[in-house]
Structure 1
Amino acid sequence: MNKLTKSSTDKILFGVCGGMADFFNLPSLIVRLLFVFVPGSIAIYLIFALFLPKKSLY
């Protein structure tokens, strides 16, 4: 089962968009664009950055 985690390799700020892209099997650019253009998503991004666990490399 795939867990929603922050990416440790595909990240610009905290790895939230990279982790969500892995989880939903989408390109990370699409997820980043959604976070930029959807109103109110900055607050959701910050909550995810604080509470999502980091993805283990192993």
Structure 2
Amino acid sequence: MSNIQNKNTNSPNKFRLDRVDGKIGGVCGGIANYMNVDPLIVRLIFAVGAIAGFGSFILLYLAIWLLAK
């Protein structure tokens, strides 16, 4: 038997709301941390989606906020 430790470095991070860098609910900050991107990019995508999608991204934001608590 070998003493090799099984460490999976490719395991995905858990999604969590980002309470520190979050502006309203921490959803965009949490998505940015999960995907390893700048939170500003995620916020801009949500803003454009809320305007172009006639508020559908607002409902998506609220759903993520409520489910991720």
TM-score by shorter chain over 0.5: yes
RMSD: 0.9
1:23 equivalent to 2:37? Answer no
- Report the structure number with the largest CA radius of gyration: 2
Aligned pair count reads 53
Q: Distance in 2 between matches of 1:22 and 1:3?
A: 10
Q: Percent identity among equivalent residues?
A: 38
Show structure 1 runs of 4+ deviating over 6 A. none
1:51 equivalent to 2:53? Answer no
Quote the offset at 1:8 in angstroms: 1.7
Q: How do residues 7-18 of structure 1 correspond to structure 2 at under 5 angstroms?
A: 7-18=18-29
1:36 equivalent to 2:47? Answer yes
Note the residue ranges of structure 1 that are not aligned, 5 or more in a row.
54-58
Measured against aligned partners, the alpha-carbon deviations of 1:3-24 in whole angstroms (never above 9, x if no partner) come to 1110121111010000000001
Measured against aligned partners, the alpha-carbon deviations of 1:17-43 in whole angstroms (never above 9, x if no partner) come to 000000011100000011110122111
